[in-house]
Amino acid sequence: MLFQYLQHRRDCKFKQNERAERIRALTQCHGPFTAFDREVIDKPIEELVQDVHRNVLQPIDLLRTYGRVALRAHEKTNCLTEVMVSAAEGWLQDGSINFKGPLAGIPVSLKDTIIVGGFDTTVGYSGFVGNKEPEDGAIVRLLKDAGAVPYVKTNLPITMLSFESTNEVWGRCTNPHNSKYSPGGSTGGEAALLALGGRIGIGSDVAGSVRAPAHFSGIYSLRCSIGRWPKMGICTSMPGQEGVPSVYSPMTRTLNDLTYFTRSIIEMQPWKYDPSVHPLAWRPEVEKDYAAKTKLRVGIMRTDGVVDPSPACIRALEKTEAALRSAGHEIVEIDPPSPYEALYLGAHLLNADGCKMFKSFFRYGEWNDPGAHQLDWLMRLPRPFKYLYYLWVKYIRRDDIWAGLIQGWHEKTAFENWKLVAKREAYRYKWFQWWNSADVDFLLTPPNATPAVPHSGMKDAVSSCGYTFLFNVLDYTCGVIPVTHVDKDLDKLPVGFNIRKLNGVAQGAYKLYDAEAMHGLPVGVQIVGRRLEEEKVLAIMKRVEEALGEDKQERPLAYQNAASFVPKLAGKIMQWLDPQKDDVILDIGCGDGVLDLQTQEILAQGNGKIHGTDSSPAMIEAASKAAESAGASKCTFEGKYLNDALDLIRTPHLQTGTFTKAFSNAALHWVLRAPAAAQADFFHGVRTALAPGGVFAFEMGGLGNVAEMRAALLMAVARRAEGGLETARRADPWFFPDEAWATKMMERTAGGWRVDRAEKEYRPTAATDRGGIEAWVRLMGAQFFEAVEEGPSREECVREVVDVLECVCRNPSGGFQIGYVRLRVLATKI
């Protein structure tokens, strides 16, 4: 036993050293992101493939970009296991990759279980170290034939029966949003990598293992039905387990990529690589039908009857429900067959072997996941003691839920297992009949009762998986999309909440729920179709995302009601800015400081800091409170010195040339409505604030931004204001230039700048915030309306603008769209 334990420690150390050496050898993947990297990371894979087909992009360059992404993500979360970038460079040269395929040149990350020729597939067990196969498994052969480039494998929990991702071979993988929490499991490493800039990945799902990580880490995933996605060519902790079959499925950073990736794999005819795949071609007509259907019937599952969803998950569900109602869809309250029955059947079928198979691969002294350990401990408890425990739970604690699960929790005979399978099939038929009678297009559910679990939390929450496990038992197709983030104020437990009144499963989940500690963690929803409905579910996920619009995070004050899209739109400009841990950054027009707080997570790793300025005292107060609450010592804010950003050049303490970077998001179209001389002064002020070689990245409304809104506001005000159109024109607070203006102003008029990059992007955005079009008009049009006499006339003016815009901006498929145009500029001080 001692020898076995010592070998276990040696093998763990060997794999970790091997990984570290492979990372060190990737000299071309170290260093900061380039402008090319940022463009690649932001572009949909369909466009990247087209560029590869046209020889506009070289696959080696894509590989190196995503190599840099993977190394950064790993540094933050420990998400990687096998690092295959160097080998992938060889595959690109030796003809292994088909550059004419639908995924030509696209780097793909893989759950550690997937067999790649020449690399170990440890599944987190030290006993599997050295189990290299000489040839690729079926999944990898298909990927290479499609043109994809496997480049890393990702972390997972030992046993794979956990919503955490920890093992002694590779270490603990952490949540990309909060290192004290899990990224999900068992495909947690994939989720962490994708959340931090990865592209497309493949995981497996037996009880929620691609959906829980999507929910915990804020990405997208699809759980395919059995036989729709290939699964040959893998190594697993539970070979032969067919009571609740595991399925392999796609995971991505964006919904567009999820759809394209899934379609591409199915169009590769995977049944020619894996005999378990149904010869069922992609059905574009189904996709089109559900993309065009005017009114969807949405069955909403508010609880599984075992663990009611936590306040954060309820808010995400209700937010999505409200968005769908607003878009004209019908919400149907449902009463399906008992989800608890599925939890019982699934748990007993999955562990019918008495937990023997996953335990058989352990070495002496090897660490076990706390959740899997609980399952095994209870399984090994002598039956007389287990029966006494059952009686105590059922009759003393009066907890029928937990008592029902532990009753009969022992290894099953073949006869007992067959009876369970028969009950599973009868249960599936009950659901089949129920769905036919309910006549809903899809179900909307929470993906889990809580957001991410803290490390080692599965000891308590191992049985709290009903919202995902249910659909494994039924073999329904389902996907997860991110909706919002935990808010420490909005998502507190209600006053008087008593955890002792909950059943044992719910107690395990709620022991871990802490809105304060979870603040900022992602929260998603689950979209459920029936068996083999991948095309339909993906089309509906897109409809749901369109209904939600850009509003994925609530913001304080008026931004919460009508302008929550602003921080979301900043993603690209922040990629251009590319904050590093030692940067000293100036944010001009910081608003409520949300971007500063996000950026400080990077700066906290080094000596950097960020200083936000804004002319609004309310915004500065909100930002300062948020920073204080989050303990964000790298963030500072001020408003008292800056009445307006145009005063920057007259603010001595900010004109010291100490900032390495400056940025502005969604503020300059207000600031720069000034004479050319004042505009030039502004850019002089930014330049003086920066150190030599410093960069300034800004995003603002571009030429043509909200054109329909601006026209409606101008005309309605002109008809009522004294002075007509000229008065309305003077009241117009916006300045929307184009790339040529920005380049001329910075390089010639102001001088001392080199414009490295400028682009304009049309970005129609659904108006799904509370209050809809009217809230937008009242907030953003406030300065226009001041030109009209206060009273009935002004209110008439508001109503006219709202009526016009509700006509012009109406989307035939439901809801309203605002025509945003974004102007982005990246410039260097010279």
CATH number for the domain that contains residue 821: 3.40.50.150
What does the pLDDT read at residue 774? 84
Domain boundary among 548, 570, 585: 548
* Alpha carbon distances (Å) from 147 to 84, 111, 261, 543: 16, 19, 12, 29
Q: Is residue 395 part of a domain?
A: no
What does the pLDDT read at residue 497? 97
CATH number for the domain that contains residue 64: 3.90.1300.10
Residue 730 sits in the same domain as residue 760:
yes
Q: Is 615 exposed, middle or buried (0-12, 13-18, 19+ CB in 10 A)?
A: middle
Average pLDDT (531-535) is: 98
What does the pLDDT read at residue 553? 38
Domain boundary among 531, 548, 565: 548
Which residue intervals of 650-781 are DSSP H helices?
A: 668-671, 676-689, 707-718, 724-731, 739-744, 772-780
pLDDT tens string 182-210: 999 999 999 999 999 999 999 999 999 99
Q: Confidence band (pLDDT; 50, 70, 90) for 811?
A: confident
pLDDT tens string 351-398: 999 999 999 999 999 999 999 999 999 999 999 999 999 999 999 999
pLDDT tens string 267-309: 999 999 999 999 999 999 999 999 999 999 999 999 999 999 9
Q: Confidence band (pLDDT; 50, 70, 90) for 601?
A: confident
Residue 527 sits in the same domain as residue 565:
no
Is the per-residue pLDDT at 123 higher than 60?
yes
Average pLDDT (780-809) is: 89
Which range of residues forms the domain containing residue 773?
Answer: 557-829
Buried b (16+ CB within 10 A) or exposed e, 387-424: eebbeebbeeeebebbbbbbbebbebeeeebeebeeeb
Domain boundary among 523, 548, 573: 548
Residue 540 sits in the same domain as residue 661:
no
Buried b (16+ CB within 10 A) or exposed e, 451-490: bbbbbebbbbbbbbbbbbbbbbbbbbbbbbbbbbbbbbee
Residue 143 sits in the same domain as residue 40:
yes
Q: Is residue 361 part of a domain?
A: no
Residue 444 sits in the same domain as residue 571:
no
Structure tokens at 763: 């970005």
Residue 443 sits in the same domain as residue 467:
yes
Structure tokens at 559: 């931004």
Cα-based angle 95, 100, 106 (whole degrees, multiple of 5): 80
Q: Is residue 427 part of a domain?
A: yes
Q: Confidence band (pLDDT; 50, 70, 90) for 778?
A: confident
What does the pLDDT read at residue 782? 85
CB-based contact 665:565 (threshold 8 Å):
no
Q: Is residue 415 part of a domain?
A: no
What does the pLDDT read at residue 562? 34
Q: Confidence band (pLDDT; 50, 70, 90) for 644?
A: low
Residue 542 sits in the same domain as residue 561:
no
How far apart (Å, rounded) are the C-alpha atoms in residues 240 and 260? 32
Closest CA to 372 of 461, 451, 298, 453: 461
Residue 462 sits in the same domain as residue 567:
no
Residue 530 sits in the same domain as residue 617:
no
